[in-house]
Amino acid sequence: MSAALLLAACGDDTGSSDNSNEKEISIGEEVGYTIVGIEPGAGITGLTYDALEQYENLEGWTLQESSTAGMIGSLDQAIRNEEPIIVTGWKPHWKFSAYDLKILDDPKGALGGEEYTNTLVRKGLEEDLPDLFTVLDRFHWEPEDVEQVMLEASNSDFDTAAAEWIQNNEDKVNEWTEGITKGGGEELKLITTTWDSELASSSVMKQVVNELGYEVNVIPVDPAIMFQAIATGEGDASLSAALPTTHDAFYKKHKEDIVDLGENLKGTQNGFVVPAYMDIDSIEDLEPKK
Ligand code: PBE
């Protein structure tokens, strides 16, 4: 293009330079001003509704609740067709190794910053089953560990994946179980949420504690029920509390009635997740519905 044409194409600078943009469809229009979400009971679902309120530029947008499998199905289909899509996503999760994805910047921190997964136990567990309490208190691992179990489970099942991880990570398991007196068949009701990362930790703990002579029942429920079960003592322990932001509403409601043993996993994260080919980097770049 010649210099003269270039100048002509740029137009004057009196404010009408946006003509070409008006014809382009915005990402909002392309995705129908819709974010594809997961289960209604998930912490991230509540946070997404908060985000829709907090970001003025998300006026008129809606969250389409579904399930984790439904969200993955929509994401997979969009990527196959190279279409735009925005989903509620989180780490650790295998979708980041299966697809080329990015998490949109969230300058208001509506979906939380760096998150942790905490261990909670019921009041009185320390007195009733002190050795088991110690194992639960010591338990911690890394995102890579969770990912290994999740990946193996996708080819087999969580019990097989947990057994394999335990076999390959004796040192870590020994750190949690060193010096522990064996149980005599007492029951541990281990409450968990239903997501893969939480099924991974619960499946590993189940086998570790089984080996120590306890009967373990893993009970997958919604986050609200999980917190309630620990608070009422119907459940003994959970490795699945997503804090400080994701499950904050449930935590606040029950914090007087639960014992928080702190983080077992660092470096988890929530966000609006898009395929890497989409030309957008921040939630703030989305446009309100016209
Ligand atoms: N998650 C995975 C859960 C906690 C861990 C982000 C989907 C939630 O939103 O409650």
Dig out the tokens for 283 from the structure.
């939630």
d(CA 67, CA 75): 12
Read off the pLDDT of residues 239-288 as tens digits, 9 standing for 90 and up.
999 999 999 999 999 999 999 999 999 999 999 999 999 999 999 999 99
Tally of residues, the chain: 290
Q: How confident is the model at residue 136 (pLDDT cuts 50, 70, 90)?
A: very high
**The ligand 1 atom nearest the CA atom of 47:** 9
Helix axes 158-168, 196-211, angle to 10 degrees: 60
Q: What is the pLDDT of residue 8?
A: 42
Averaged confidence pLDDT in the chain = 93
Tell me: pLDDT of 189 over 60.
Answer: yes
CA dist 237 and 229 (Å) reads 9
Tell how far the Cα of 242 is from the centroid of ligand 1, in angstroms: 7
Give 251 Cα–ligand 1 centroid separation in angstroms.
Answer: 14
What is the per-residue pLDDT for 286?
97
In whole angstroms, what is the distance from residue 110 CA to residue 271 CA?
Answer: 9
Chain centre to alpha carbon of residue 228: 20
List pLDDT tens digits, range 66-122: 999 999 999 999 999 999 999 999 999 999 989 999 999 999 999 999 999 999 999
Given a cut of 70, whether residue 5 has pLDDT beyond it is no
CB atoms within 10 A of CB 117: 27
Q: Three-state DSSP class for 270?
A: strand
- Within 10 A of 121 (CB to CB), how many other CB atoms are there? 23
Atom of ligand 1 nearest to the CA of 90: 6
Report how far ligand 1's centroid is from the alpha carbon of 64 (Å). Answer: 16
Q: Are 117 and 285 in contact (CB under 8 A)?
A: no
DSSP conformation class of 118: E
Backbone angles phi, psi at 48, to 5 degrees: -70, -40
Backbone torsions φ then ψ of 266, nearest 5 degrees: -110, 165
User: If you take atom 4 of ligand 1, which residue's CA is the nearest one?
Assistant: 242
Would you give the DSSP letter of residue 280?
-
Cα separation, 63 vs 42, in Å, equals 13
* 203 φ, ψ (degrees, to nearest 5): -70, -35
Residue of 38, 87, 90, 221 with the most ligand 1 atoms within 8 Å of its CB, for mutation: 90
Residue nearest to atom 5 of ligand 1 (CA): 242
User: Which ligand 1 atom sits nearest the alpha carbon of residue 38?
Assistant: 7
Q: pLDDT by residue (tens digit) across 19-64?
A: 455 557 899 999 999 999 999 999 999 999 999 999 999 999 999 9
Structure tokens at 146: 């969770």
Helix/strand number for the chain, H first, E second: 14, 9
Span 142-146, average pLDDT: 95
pLDDT of residue 290: 84
Nearest Cα to 113, choosing from 273, 270, 283, 281?
A: 270
**Ligand 1 pocket, CB under 6 A:** 42-44, 90, 193, 195, 223, 242, 246, 270
Q: How far is the CA of 276 from the centre of ligand 1 (A)?
A: 22
* 254 CB-near residues (< 8 Å, 6+ apart): 227, 228, 230, 231
pLDDT at 17 over 70: no
Cβ(180)–Cβ(134) under 8 Å?
yes
Q: How far is the CA of 125 from the centre of ligand 1 (A)?
A: 26
How far away, in angstroms, is 36 Cα from ligand 1 center?
15
The span from the CA of 262 to the CA of 238, in Å, is 11
Terminal CA-CA length for the chain: 35
Residue with the two structure tokens 């029942």: 217
User: Which residue's structure tokens are 């400080």?
Assistant: 244
Q: Closest ligand 1 atom to the C-alpha of 41?
A: 10
| Alpha carbon of 289 to ligand 1 centroid (Å) | 28
